[in-house]
Amino acid sequence: MRVKQLLIAAMGLALAVPSIASAQFSEDFDAYATGTSMHGVNGWKGWDNNPAATAFTSDAQAQSAPNSVAIGPTSDLVHEFFGYTTGAWVVRIMQYIPSSTIGQQYFLLLNEYNDGGPYNWSTQIQFLDGLLVINDGDGTSTPIIANQWIEIRVEIDLDANSQTIYYDGALLAVSSWTEGITGGGSLNIGAVDLFSNGATEIYYDDFSIESANPTPIIDSSWGEIKATFK
């Protein structure tokens, strides 16, 4: 009986690695000391680059420890983005609203933002008195889920000029991206804005923008397959 070993050198063996080959952004507010002003930190700033509109990291509530960002009565915290002009994207953020909250808070996405203007809003979600979530684009509302972390998710398809908004996994609204709020906007994700209209504190954590269609990176290195035959 003879044993023959066959060594097969497999050139270009495709090994798919789950990696996104396109722009993305994430922020969990955990790399900074508790109580840090976010104005001028990692691209965050007060509206119109005004430091008085800043917000501060907080450990009073956190989806991912140790910090979230607390949006207080004077907060209007902005982060600009560049290069999101085509394709499909998913914006996610975790939100905690105490049941004792009083006043209006807003989560906003802009297709155009510049310090001092012009601005153009696509998404404007209002959180009123710890009671109601209101999509200001069409007036659709749902009760706030208070005293726990809730995901806000906006699925944006710039190629189709559409956005789909979810609150705690439930559909809130579907609309055009460029006509969502202001109208006459651009096919561009320009900025996020966490704004308090004088309301008491709420908290945000684990913000991200990710491709809805991640592209795998292919490793074309040589591989070896060994087979033994009798």
Question: For residue 77, what pLDDT is reported?
Answer: 99
Query: Which token pair is 176?
Result: 């055009």
Contacts of 51 (CB under 8 A, 6+ apart): 37, 39, 40, 45
Q: Are 134 and 125 in contact (CB under 8 A)?
A: yes
pTM: 0.85
CA distance 186 to 158: 9
Write down the domain spans for the chain: 1-13+217-230, 22-213
**Token duo for residue 78:** 């902005």
Does residue 216 have a cis peptide bond before it, meaning omega lies within 30 degrees of 0?
Answer: no
3-state secondary structure of 106: strand
Considering only the top CATH level, what class is 22-213?
mainly beta
Strand-by-strand arrangement of the 132-135 sheet: 44-46, 76-80, 191-196, 104-112, 120-128, 132-135, 141-143
pLDDT in tens, the chain (230 residues): 333 333 333 333 333 333 333 569 999 999 999 999 999 999 999 999 999 999 999 999 999 999 999 999 999 999 999 999 999 999 999 999 999 999 999 999 999 999 999 999 999 999 999 999 999 999 999 999 999 999 999 999 999 999 999 999 999 999 999 999 999 999 999 999 999 999 999 999 999 999 998 765 454 444 443 444 33
